[in-house]
Amino acid sequence: MELRWKVFPLHPQTPQEGTELSQLLGVRAEQVAAMQARLLQVAAAEGLPLAERSRTYNSRGAQELGKWAQEQGKGDPWRRAVYHAFFAEGRNIALGKVLEEIAAEVGLSSLEAREVLAAGSYRTLVEADWQRAEDLGITAVPAHLCAGKRLVGFSGYLDFLRLIEKG
């Protein structure tokens, strides 16, 4: 079974400076805290680093650089580094400077990363993934597909085993 990574337009309208989660979700800050408590619990059980956060940021540039990193043989390190930067450190992954720093952290050229973003070299590939997600009716992340079955949301290891066993 081959694992293929695709990207998703999670709140593509989010401005570069980010948006408060309570505003984005249209709920009170206390409700965001309760949702995050569940996520923190699942992450801790799975050994994943996750910090509380009150803002979300636009991931479009990170997605484009992810396609580039994959071609450079650095797709997995890139995804791990972006995850850690955003979810564990709360860094704004919409900022070119932050993405250039992450590129350097995983052994990619920060200058080339800047050029890739400026040129929009991987925009079409990202848009193709976004269209595929729409065609499949995917409206949330993470979403995992296996033999026509899907698992949506922040899930534990046993959930993935059940997904694979069904497939």
Q: For the chain, which residues make up each domain, given as ranges?
A: 57-135, 138-167
* Structure token digits, residue 28: 């009170």
Return the pLDDT at 71.
97
Other beta carbons within 10 angstroms of residue 121's beta carbon come to 16
As a whole number, mean pLDDT of residues 136-154 equals 87
Residue 113 CA to chain centroid, in angstroms? 18
* Percent of residues, the chain, with pLDDT higher than 90: 69
pLDDT > 80? residue 1: no
Per-residue pLDDT tens digits for 22-65: 999 999 999 999 999 988 998 898 888 999 888 999 999 999 99
pLDDT > 90? residue 11: no
Are 144 and 151 in contact, with CB atoms under 8 Å apart? yes
Give the separation between CA 3 and CA 9, rounded to whole angstroms: 20
CATH code for residues 57-135: 3.40.30.10
Give the separation between CA 96 and CA 117, rounded to whole angstroms: 8
* Percent of residues, the chain, with pLDDT higher than 70: 98
Give the separation between CA 153 and CA 104, rounded to whole angstroms: 30
As a whole number, mean pLDDT of residues 4-14 equals 87
Return the pLDDT at 67.
97
> CA-CA-CA-CA torsion for 75, 77, 82, 84, nearest 10 degrees?
150
Model confidence band, residue 167 (pLDDT cutoffs 50, 70, 90): low
Return the pLDDT at 9.
84
